[in-house]
Amino acid sequence: MSSVDGMRVVGTIRSIELHAVMSKFQGVPPRQVAKIVLDIEQAIDGDGTDIHVENLSGLHFQGPPELVPRFAEGERVQITTTTPSGMHIASIKPAPLS
């Protein structure tokens, strides 16, 4: 990973649902996003540094609405975010066995 890569987390999906995000601009309708909450087992920063998972408690990740039918509660996944401190999903896939 390079220093511009996002955070990588591994965990089990606690909840996944469609969520409406309101626009900051008048006249623009809200858009749907997938909101994913994980029970995080492991987290690694963009530079490869381990992150204490307790520092990430209560956070949720957001991605395109198409993720909702593809993943389900109880699935173990690996998420890479778009930025090291962001919660926007760049990629999500089933987690490798540990």
In a domain, 3, yes or no: no
Contact between 89 and 63 (Cβ < 8 Å): yes
Question: What pLDDT is recorded for position 1?
Answer: 41
Question: What pLDDT is recorded for position 98?
Answer: 61
In a domain, 24, yes or no: yes
88 secondary structure, DSSP code? B
- Kindly report the number of other CB atoms within 10 A of residue 84's CB atom: 18
In a domain, 25, yes or no: yes
| CATH number (domain holding residue 27) | 2.40.50
Tell whether the torsion through CA atoms of 78, 79, 85 and 90 is positive or negative.
positive
In a domain, 44, yes or no: yes
In a domain, 31, yes or no: yes
What's CA 86's distance to the chain center, in Å?
A: 9
Could you list the residue range(s) of the whole structural domain that residue 23 is in?
8-94
| Domains: count for the chain | 1
pTM for the full predicted model: 0.85
In a domain, 1, yes or no: no
**Regions of the chain with pLDDT less than 50:** 1-3
Question: What pLDDT is recorded for position 4?
Answer: 55
CA distance linking residue 55 with residue 37, whole number of Å: 14
